Amino acid sequence: MSVLDKRGAGRRDPVPETTPGTSTDSGAVNAAERAPRRSRAGRRGLPLVLNAVSIALGIAIWWALASAGFKLPTPPEVVARARTLIDNGTLGKDVVASLTRVLIGFALGTAVAIPVGFLMGWYAVLRGLIEPWIQFFRTIPPLAIIPLAVVVMGIDETPKIFVIFLAAFLACVISTFQGVVSVDRTLISAARVLGAKDMTIFVRVVVPASTPFILVGMRVGLGSAWATLVAAELVAAQQGLGYRMQNAELYYDLPTIFVGLISIGILGLLMDRILLLAERRLTAWQERR
């Protein structure tokens, strides 16, 4: 037995003194751990409550304006028209047609915008070559491009998808480019000092730091895609929410117009919430308020 073992053989560790109520310390610790969880759950539930209150308040204001004599259909009239359009299958076909156009245009626009934005931000030569054209087309409304698209591409689905693609692309490419040029140069310098190559720096530093900008650009691009939809469906469309609203305008059919507006708003909101959820998952490291 070593000297340290002999010295410690006859010595016992002191027994911590217990006082009345010490047995409840573990319960107090557990309660303290549960308190932050409850507060976080409360913070998560509060926005949902506020959203519900906001929606109810908006419907009440809408109903009050319609009852006050404004040329607006009442919520029951819009619900009745929506039920009719659902029963005869019109609304379902319009939703599928519009959603397909938006998804294809948005997906293509995002798929092209992200690599172009990275190239513009990473290589100064490409930035000088591409950026003037990006800024040039940003100043042209998609509605103004429709006549050119019809002449060049015909009157089928191609020009409709093209103008939606262009709207999503221009919104997303600028955000991606801004994300790349905003990366902290200290991080890049530190990676180079540690021996990282350009590809490693790009994948491990630039891409993660730019992800919040990319997702914000995708959300803006999604809104631009839906905003362009009605204009895109001016081009010889036979189905779609925008087409249905324009057709209803000829007959002053306000309930049908409101059904189209609300449908576009709901679909856009749901898609935006999906992107927002992806943003929170992919940027969990980012500090939030």
What are the contacts of 279-282 at 24+ separation with CB within 8 A? 279/212, 279/215, 279/216, 279/219, 282/211, 282/215
Task: Walk me through the domains of the chain, giving residue ranges and CATH numbers.
Answer: 99-238 (1.10.3720.10)
Per-residue pLDDT of the chain (289 residues; tens, 9 = 90+): 443 344 444 445 454 454 444 444 555 545 555 555 555 555 666 778 888 899 899 999 999 998 888 888 999 999 999 999 999 989 999 999 999 999 999 999 999 999 999 888 888 898 889 989 998 988 888 778 888 888 888 878 888 899 999 999 998 999 889 888 888 788 888 888 888 787 888 888 888 888 888 888 899 999 889 888 888 887 767 888 988 988 888 888 899 999 999 999 999 999 998 988 888 887 776 665 5
Q: Strand, helix or coil at 1?
A: coil
Residues 255 and 48: their CA atoms lie apart, in Å, by 28
Using CA atoms, how far apart are residues 107 and 84, in angstroms rounded to an integer? 32
- Which residues are within 8 A (CB) of 60 and not within 5 positions of it... i.e. 6 or more apart? none
pTM above 0.85, yes or no: no
